Amino acid sequence: MKKFSDNSVDLIFADPPYHLQLPEGRRLKRGDGSEVIPVADGWDKFESYEEYDSFTENWLRGCQRVLKPTGTIWVMGMYHNIFRVGKIMQDLGLWFLNDVIWVKIDAMPNFKCRRFTNNHETLIWAVKNKNCKNYTFNYEFLKMMNDGRQMKDTDWTFPICRGPERLRDENGIKSHPTQKPLKLIQQVLLTASRKGDLVLDPFMGSGTTAVVAHALHRNWVGIEKEKRYVELANMRIENYIQTK
């Protein structure tokens, strides 16, 4: 297997497993009796926080190595995992630029009424190390698209991935449990990359990053452990190229 060169990637977008720790065997039902299908795949199962931390440190270390000094890394998460991930990123010397809040507008309500509705995910945006000042940030473009005002870390409001964009199998079952919306990844690439840049997604899943990168004329590399998702992503990308 060919090894990535050091300092070779312009932008990394990572949506790692969230380590949700849902209790086994419990079912959450909506008021109409229908069942909420949880993320219960093997790739989100870890024995302990320690195992999750070790997994996290390993892939982050690799990402930091291949990231250019002018590049940036984006890591998504929710409260289950993002604090552990962020702490490990800091320990590795990655230097935070912002934590951006993706506010959803149609998230699932809290059925048990014992907490606030989970209506956001957090994106940590960082450079390779503290000394990296010359990173790509398309400030003027974002400002223009934001009514002439500087973009804020709370200005990212997009719907979750649903409707025709959501990939489903022949039975209508969603093909990937955590497919991310195209607009979210588009915003990441428009913020911090240029035409011709190399984009890496170490958890490619259904291939959203690849599709967006292709559409915006960025080069891309995706990594995915589950063979069925690699096939899914390949089909999706081929479809996109043909129908465009």
Residue 29 is classified by DSSP as B
Q: Quick check: 184 and 159 in contact, CB under 8 A?
A: no
The answer to whether residue 107 forms part of the interface with DNA (CB under 7 A) is yes
- Least distance CB 121 / a copy of itself (angstroms): 10
Q: Restricting to residues 59-98, name those near DNA by CB under 7 A.
A: 78-80, 90, 95-97
The answer to whether residue 134 forms part of the interface with DNA (CB under 7 A) is yes
157: Cβ contacts below 8 Å, ≥ 6 apart: 102, 103, 104, 105
Which CA distances in Å does 229 have to 22, 133, 175, 206, 225?
22, 36, 8, 6, 8
For residue 35 the two structure tokens come to 């069942």
Distance CA 194, CA 128 (A): 18
28: Cβ contacts below 8 Å, ≥ 6 apart: 35, 36, 38, 111
Q: Restricting to residues 35-64, name those near DNA by CB under 7 A.
A: 36-39, 44
Closer CB to a copy of itself, 131 or 239, in the complex: 131
The answer to whether residue 129 forms part of the interface with a copy of itself (CB under 8 A) is no
Which residue from 1, 3, 34, 196 is in contact with DNA, where contact means CB under 7 A? 34
Q: Restricting to residues 140-179, name those near a copy of itself by CB under 8 A.
A: 150-155
Task: Assign residue 158 a region (left: φ > 0; alpha: ψ between -120 and 50; beta: otherwise).
Answer: beta
The item of DNA, a copy of itself, none sharing an interface with residue 202, based on CB under 5 to 8 Å by kind, is: none
Stretch that binds DNA, among 1-9, 20-28, 65-73, 213-221 (CB under 7 A): 20-28
Q: Quick check: 16 and 81 in contact, CB under 8 A?
A: yes
Footprint of DNA on this chain (CB under 7 A)? Answer: 15-34, 36-39, 44, 78-80, 90, 95-97, 105-115, 117-118, 131, 133-134, 143, 148-150, 159-164, 166, 172, 174, 177-179
Footprint of a copy of itself on this chain (CB under 8 A)? Answer: 49, 78-80, 82-87, 89-91, 96-101, 103, 107, 109-110, 113-120, 122, 124-125, 133, 137, 139, 150-155
